[in-house]
């Protein structure tokens, strides 16, 4: 990581980021397996080596990658479509679900029902949810992750 000192620290940081191509903000999220990921322009990136600033596109075999620095990212090109708004909504709902599951005493099946009902109320197709958000896979995955 680069260390900036002196009176013009903000100017030095902005110059460093601009020169090195860091111009996109990113959002931290969790991938399908519960690992850390980031979202940039509706593309998801996984961190193959923890504790690094290097990220790979979550859709294989895409070879796109990004490097992050001070909440900015430098990107290269993707050769596939980005995630849909529904997929982004599911990612955010799973984040919310994980937080509720670890911080409340509410049973996982009840949280699942509430989350599913909320997604359907936001015009997510129930058939799509049955494929991407099935209860049996969902329960087993979260029981393992919450126990850790």
Q: Are residues 140 and 90 in the same domain?
A: yes
Q: How confident is the model at residue 147 (pLDDT cuts 50, 70, 90)?
A: very low
Which tokens hold the place of 103? 């911080």
Residue 2 lies in a domain: no
| Confidence (pLDDT) at 102 | 84
State which H helix or E strand residue 18 sits in: helix 9-19
Residue 98 lies in a domain: yes
Q: Please count the structural domains in the chain.
A: 2
Q: Which of 32, 53, 75 is the last residue of a domain?
A: 75
Q: Are residues 58 and 23 in the same domain?
A: yes
Q: Mind listing the pLDDT tens digit for each residue in 17-75?
A: 676 667 777 888 888 777 888 888 888 888 877 667 888 888 878 878 888 877 778 77
Range of the domain at 57: 9-75
Q: Are residues 17 and 39 in the same domain?
A: yes
Q: Are residues 15 and 47 in the same domain?
A: yes
| Confidence (pLDDT) at 43 | 85
Mean pLDDT value across the chain: 76
Backbone angles phi, psi at 55, to 5 degrees: -135, 145
Q: What is the pTM of this model?
A: 0.58
pLDDT at 145 over 70: no
Name 55's bridge partners: 66
Backbone angles phi, psi at 142, to 5 degrees: -75, -30
- CB-CB contact of 115 with 76 (8 Å): no
Residue 3 lies in a domain: no
Q: Are residues 68 and 125 in the same domain?
A: no
Burial code (b: 16+ CB inside 10 Å, e: under 16) for 60-69 equals eeeebebbbb
DSSP string, 53-70: SEEEESSTT---EEEEET
CB atoms within 10 A of CB 94: 20
Q: Using a pLDDT cut of 70, give the percent of the chain over it.
A: 72
Which tokens hold the place of 127? 């058939």
Across 85-89, 123-127, 142-146, least confident range: 142-146
Q: Are residues 21 and 67 in the same domain?
A: yes
């Amino acid at each position: 990581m680069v260390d900036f000192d002196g009176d013009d620290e903000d100017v030095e940081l902005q110059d460093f980021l601009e020169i090195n191509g860091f111009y996109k903000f990113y959002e931290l999220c969790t991938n399908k397996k519960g690992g850390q990921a980031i979202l940039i322009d509706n593309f998801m990136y996984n961190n193959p080596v923890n504790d690094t600033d290097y990220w790979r596109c979550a859709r294989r075999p895409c070879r796109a990658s990004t490097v992050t620095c001070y909440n900015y990212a430098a990107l290269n090109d993707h050769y596939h479509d980005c995630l849909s708004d529904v997929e982004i909504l599911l990612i955010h709902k799973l984040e919310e679900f994980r937080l509720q599951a670890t911080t409340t005493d509410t049973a996982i099946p009840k949280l699942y029902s509430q989350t599913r009902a909320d997604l359907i109320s936001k015009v997510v197709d129930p058939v799509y949810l049955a494929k991407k958000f099935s209860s049996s896979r969902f329960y087993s995955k979260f029981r393992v992750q919450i126990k850790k």
